[in-house]
Chain A
Amino acid sequence: MQAYTGKILHVDLTTGRSKIQTFDDAFAKMYIGGTGFGIKTLLDNQKPGIDPFDPENPLIYALGAVCNTMVPCGASKFGVFAKSPASNLLGEAYSTGQWGAELRSAGYDILVIRGKAAKPKYIWIDDESMQLMDASHLWGKTAWETEETIRKDLGDEYVRVSGIGQAGENLSRIACLINDHFRAAGRTGLGAVMGSKNLKAVAVRGTYDTCVADVPKLQEFCKDLYERARGPKTSKYRTLGTAANVLAMNKQGALPTRNFQAAMFEGAEKISGEYLNERYVTKIEGCSACPMRCEHIAVVREGPFTGATARIEYEPTMAFGSNCGVDRMDAIIKSVELCDMYGLDAISAGMIIAFGMECFERGLITTQDTGGLDLRFGNAEAMVEMVRKMAFRQDIGKVLADGVRPASKAIGKGSEAFALEIKGVELTGYDIRGLKTAALGYAVSRRGADHQRHGSYGPDMDGRVDRFKAEKSRGKIVVGDEDNYAIFDSIILCKFSRGIWNGYDEIAKIYTMVTGIPYTGEEMRKTGERINNLARIYNIREGLTRSDDTVPPRVMNDPIPSGVSKGSRVTQEDLDILLDGYYEARGWTPEGVPKSEKLKELDLEGYESILAGKRK
């Protein structure tokens, strides 16, 4: 096989030892890379039921199959996997930039980190060499300072670093991993897993080429793909960027506002993509070998947050903007900058602060709890300061730092009613009360509240279905979307490029050109299905049941109060219809457990023993 290195590097932080395990074509073909590799490796290497902060919880980096090749929109992507401290289920996050390509250049496709160092360390991978370096001088530094210091210490500005800031050191369950300054493996708290190991970062430098199977065919194909990736189907990313979603979502009554108390925000214009580009964007950058170039880098040039610099996308704009009732783009940029520095999931951080704001306005917490902050909706300065407090676990930040689920348990007084989370992971930027297909996708998403494992807001928003209605047939739609995205997350292809690909057949073609491994479109589809079932097996093993496939109480009980989606919510009856349709489409039992015939169909019979006792 080509492109793959075929090597898994295992590092044990307790003993300081490492070993290399190899894999073959058969493994590559079954699981492809990225999410397939990550979930399989986690399932097979993690003791069932352990605590996410147990040293034996493996932290796994898995590269996409086309990493470090000429394939546009896929050249540097990687996934990170572990048992999540946020959900106690599958932890899964993706990033891009340049780090992934460097790991493959160094000679590895998967990195598995176990154990716990006696003192702070960072892993330094320099081609075949792996060393555990002293990180005591890095502990307490931001993720950015860590990257700069490591490069200086190693005397090489081309070293790529994936690491944590103070939030990960403080085991915040929403801590993330930052690489290449502006990029994050954001969700599900994997930065805290790294921190629990006394591990500060993984630094990589690689010098080997990645060879592909069919250079002339791949070149030809990539030329065409390159033009498509620079064409009209992706122009929205280069022009206003994803922040253009703000006004679009607002128009359709789907923009989360004030902790999902509403779905339209009166200040939307001032946090829109149009406003951002006009006043704050200084340049647009791209990932390694990507022609789409979507990164809108924004700088604040005046006011109390002068100098704040961040890559701005829709989700954190929603999380720190409309959902906190804040109509100040400068405060949003500053908040995202702090998240990048301290290593916090920007989506979760904004969502949690919004929860804190509602608690404050309801009198459930006071200025005594907030360290004097007037934490009302719309108070931009308080919002920014609360990001800091969460990173350093100060005042109520100590409780908020772990997410809305534990925070609502700690605060109590009925706050669970407005804790917007699924499986312990905070919701993202779609008000699913008026998007019933998306609501199903969120409810069943393998890593908790998430739009990225399915993208099923698409049929709702473009009118292919009646978005206000729950139907059993949505199950098939979400299954198709999930299986498609599992392939995107395995190859790994940027989802911004999803509009330029012509189905599974084309993805299979490029996979074969890169790796030399024959693959058909139908095999690709089946692999996507396999990966989703593998994730389900893992989650069931760690305790998931049908009751976890749900939506938050607010989504069920509080209808959207106004606008085009007025009156919408997801009732229990809606949820039951949607779940029944989904489980049936998946070939699972009514309790959401894959049937044995489905396991056999997907060559996963080896895991039957995990599920046998769970079927009724």
Chain B
Amino acid sequence: MRLIVQYLGPIQVKLDKKEEEINVDQGLSLFSLLRYLSESYGDWFGNEVLENNEKHLREGVLVTVNGIASGQIGGLEAKLKEGDIVTILPFFAGGG
């Protein structure tokens, strides 16, 4: 299935990429997608996004699917569908 993956914040800067379209297996989970990206870009990606590379987002990182935070749709076990837009972004940091 086709997915759009978007990057914001420090990950965007490190990857030098804002967005990409990828093709993955049907019914892939969010966690599996993140593992797939980690294998593509290197361990640093997994370390950046996941806590100890386990099924838990690192503090300060948010992942949304079609604008909704992963926590609201079943966490990293959530199954993705054709055309989903997955965004990896920094968690909100206050400021002002």
Q: Footprint of B on A, CB under 8 Å?
A: 186, 232-233, 235-237, 239-245, 247-249, 251-253, 273-274, 313-316, 318-319, 346-347, 428-429, 451-452, 455, 457-458, 461-467, 495-496, 499, 563-565
What are 13 A-to-B residue pairs whose CB atoms are below 8 Å?
A236-B91, A242-B94, A242-B96, A244-B93, A251-B67, A253-B67, A273-B9, A274-B8, A462-B71, A495-B94, A499-B59, A564-B66, A564-B67
Cβ contact within 8 Å between B10 and A236: yes
Q: Footprint of A on B, CB under 8 Å?
A: 6, 8-10, 12-13, 58-60, 62, 64, 66-73, 87, 89-96
Residues of A within 8 A of B58 (CB): 232
What secondary structure prevails in chain A residues at the interface with B?
helix
CB distance from A192 to the nearest CB of B (A): 20
Cβ contact within 8 Å between A247 and B91: no
Cβ contact within 8 Å between B94 and A462: no
Assuming A274-B8, A274-B9, A313-B95, what are 16 further A-B pairs, CB within 8 angstroms? A232-B58, A233-B60, A241-B95, A243-B95, A244-B90, A245-B95, A247-B89, A249-B92, A251-B64, A251-B67, A274-B12, A347-B96, A461-B62, A463-B70, A463-B73, A564-B67
Closest to B12 in A: A274
Residues of A within 8 A of B72 (CB): 463, 465-467
Contact A248 to B8, CB < 8 A, known contacts A233-B59, A239-B13, A466-B72: yes
Residues of B within 8 A of A232 (CB): 58-60
Residues of B within 8 A of A457 (CB): 92
Q: Which single member of A248, A316, A318 contacts B89 (CB below 8 Å)?
A: A248
Residues of A within 8 A of B69 (CB): 252, 461-463, 467
Residues of A within 8 A of B70 (CB): 463
Cβ contact within 8 Å between A315 and B96: yes
State in angstroms the CA–CA spacing of A352 and B87 once bound together.
33
CB distance from A413 to the nearest CB of B (A): 31
Cβ contact within 8 Å between B67 and A499: no
Cβ contact within 8 Å between B95 and A315: yes
Contact A462 to B91, CB < 8 A, known contacts A247-B8, A564-B67: yes
CB distance from A184 to the nearest CB of B (A): 10
Closest to A458 in B: B92
Closest to B75 in A: A463
Residues of B within 8 A of A461 (CB): 62, 69, 91-92
Contact A251 to B66, CB < 8 A, known contacts A235-B10, A314-B95: no
CB distance from B85 to the nearest CB of A (A): 9
Closest to A345 in B: B96
Residues of B within 8 A of A273 (CB): 9
Residues of B within 8 A of A452 (CB): 94
